[in-house]
Each structure stands twice: as structure tokens, then as C-alpha cells.
Amino acid sequence: MIDPVSGFPYPEAWVRLCTDEAARDLARSGFGVLTANGTVLRRGFTTGTTAAAAAFAAVASLHGAEVSEAEVLLPCGIRALVPACGRNGYGEARKFSGDYPDDVTAGIVIAAEAKPSETVLLAAGEGIGRFVRATPRYAEGEPAISPQARAEILGAIEAACRLTGVAGAEVVLRIPEGARIGALTLNPKVGVLGGISVVGTTGFVEPWDDHLTETLGERIAAASDVVITTGRTGLRFSRLLFPECEVVLAGSKISEALSAAEHCRSVVVCGLPGLILRFFHPEVATSRGFSTVEELAASTGGRDAMKEEVLDAVRRYPRVRIVLLDRSGSVLIDSGEVRQ
């Protein structure tokens, strides 16, 4: 079984542990994520998908038809029926966050107003943040709508235009609670003020948050079983491999994370080899004649070399289990298995 959103092939052992056929179907469809203990967590919808649903509902209701759901083609290629209300050119959709526990935008309403036009036009109204300074990708004053989300929304508008038989539509998006919620996000730190961002690479919200490094100590202090990871790839696959643990994104702050985890019942360091091996042995690559850990890993005997490094690390940190992954999520080295 393969996750249609990420392309990740679920191990057969995980599939066997999932005895609920409805849950399996949810994972097969992409609307759920299968984890290592056989449980399936629901994906939610991004702000981009929610905005697309609101825009669809607004346009589809232009000729008096009432709309109760919107069919949206997500950026990942999956079609989703998203609950939405549309009447007389006004549409609303409420953001569904699935099993994401700490989504500050959960339940937020995104509204759209539409009127017929000769072409398809999209405008950002109140509650959508704007950049207060130019960036490599956005001009000063531009609304914080990512390219993927914009394409998703425009696609939904065009689909609704075909459904209703109009040549085009002018749609204005608004997020009534956007300014208040935006102040609670990272937007002010990245120069986006006045609202939230409308984003979404796949159209789905993964059923876990990003575990920002600034809350590292607090998250670990509240955990009994913790997984420390170094990047986004490690974060995703650590959550799949260890669904019952608190997974924290530490980046290069592995030392601080391990110190904070001294009280924990179990501690795992999991992720791509680079940062992890360099933390335990800063000259791990150069001492073996390579410029980078990536070169070492790809070399003849690279797997054995990494195994030696991992065994040396766990001798010095006996409470820590080290799991090295490749970019596809496959386990390269697991000290818990090596020591058995």
C-alpha cells in the first residue's frame, strides 16, 4: 500500500497491524495516514483548500442554486468534496484540521464573494496577511497566498464557472478572524501582517504540527517518550515510525534536546544521517577520507561505517536509541536492532 500524497510505501507490517478496513481505505485514499502501530490519522485541509472550496461555492451559487459542498482538485492531484455553503454569490467554508492537535487556524471561516466577469479574477480582502517588505518571491504589499494555493483556488473558480455556464467570475476572499489569528502565528516574524497566509503544498494538513524549535524545551519537559529529529524529512517519518511518542524538531540543537530529555522514559534520535552523525562525531566524514556524510553513506562500506559510528555513539549515550533514515523513509541503521 502506497500513500498517494507522499508516495511513501507503507511497510507490510504496518498494514497488517491495521485491522480496520475502513481505516485502511482512508489511508489508501490519501485522506488518512497509516502509522507504525497500525492506527490511521486523518489529514485535514489547508487554508488554500478551504479558500478554494469557499470560492467554488460562491461562484457555483451565482445563478440562485444553493451549494452545500465543493469539489476541489488538490495540488497533490486528489479530488476532495469539501463542505461549503454557497448562496447568491456568497460562499463560506470552515477549515477542517483532521487529527492535527494544535492547529491555530482550526475551524476558521474563509468567505468568498463572487460576481460574473469576462475573465477569472481573484482578490484578497480583509484577514489575509500581506508582506510588509519585499522577499525573493513576493513584492511588498502582496497578499500572502502561495503559488500552489492560488492555482488551486483559480482552478476551483474555473470549475464552478463551467458548472454554472458563466464566462468568468471576480472573486474576493475574506477571512473575518484572520487578523486576530494571524497575530498568533509566525506571520509577524516573517513580515506578514494583517491576517493569516493562504497556503498548502499538497492541499492537505498533515495530522501533526511542525513542533517549532522555540518550544523544544516545553515539549520535551511534558513528554515521557520523546523522539528528537533534525529536519522536515525526519519529522515526517519519525511521526510515522513512532506515533505514540512526542516528536520534536530540534534541528542542530540535539545537545539541548538531549539535556532536556534526561527525565524521559525513552529517548530516540531519528532522521537523516548528516546532522546526527556529525553531532556524535564532528569529523565523522573527514576522518574517513570523505568531504560529507552523504559521500560517506554512498561509498562502498558506507553502511558498515555508519553502523560503527552509531554503536560508538550509543556506548557513550546508553539511554539513547539512534535511527538513521534515507530520504524515502527507509531505516538505514537502528541501534535498537544493531545491539540485539
CATH: 3.90.550.10, 3.30.2110.10, 3.40.50.1970, 2.40.100.10. Which one for 45-205? 3.30.2110.10
- The Cβ of residue 53 has, within 10 Å, a number of other Cβ atoms equal to 34
Whether the pLDDT of residue 182 is over 70: the answer is: yes
Whether the pLDDT of residue 183 is over 60: the answer is: yes
CA 150 to chain centre: 18
* Residue linked to cell 553513506: 297
Determine contact, residues 51/82, Cβ cutoff 8 Å: no
Q: Tell me the pLDDT tens digit for each residue of 3-30.
A: 999 888 999 999 999 999 999 999 999 9
Query: How far apart are alpha carbons 158 and 164 in whole angstroms?
Result: 10
In the DSSP assignment, the letter for residue 316 is: H
Helix, strand, or coil (residue 153): helix
* Residue linked to cell 518550544: 215
Give the cell for residue 94: 470552515
Q: For residue 104, what pLDDT band results from cuts at 50, 70 and 90?
A: confident
The structural domains of the chain, with segments of one domain joined by +, span 12-41, 45-205, 213-338
pLDDT of residue 157: 98
Q: For residue 134, what pLDDT band results from cuts at 50, 70 and 90?
A: confident
The pLDDT > 70 percentage for the chain reads: 97
pLDDT of residue 176: 96
Give the cell for residue 80: 476532495
Phi/psi for 35 (5° steps) reads -115, 175
Of residues 95 and 185, more confidently modeled: 95
Query: How far apart are alpha carbons 203 and 200 in whole angstroms?
Result: 5
Q: For residue 236, what pLDDT band results from cuts at 50, 70 and 90?
A: confident
The pLDDT > 90 percentage for the chain reads: 72
What does the angle CA 295 – CA 297 – CA 298 come to, to the nearest 5 degrees? 65
Whether the pLDDT of residue 212 is over 80: the answer is: no
Q: Tell me the pLDDT tens digit for each residue of 66-95.
A: 999 999 999 999 999 999 999 999 999 999
* Residue linked to cell 482538485: 73
Side-chain half-sphere CA neighbours of 124 within 13 A: 21
Whether the pLDDT of residue 211 is over 80: the answer is: no
In the DSSP assignment, the letter for residue 8 is: P
Side-chain half-sphere CA neighbours of 73 within 13 A: 12
Compute the mean pLDDT over every residue in the chain, rounded to the nearest whole number. 91
Strands 90-94 and 79-87: antiparallel
**For 227-239, what is the mean pLDDT?**
89
Q: Tell me the pLDDT tens digit for each residue of 161-179.
A: 999 999 999 999 999 999 9
Q: List 193's β-bridge partners, or say none.
A: 130
Of residues 252 and 245, more confidently modeled: 245
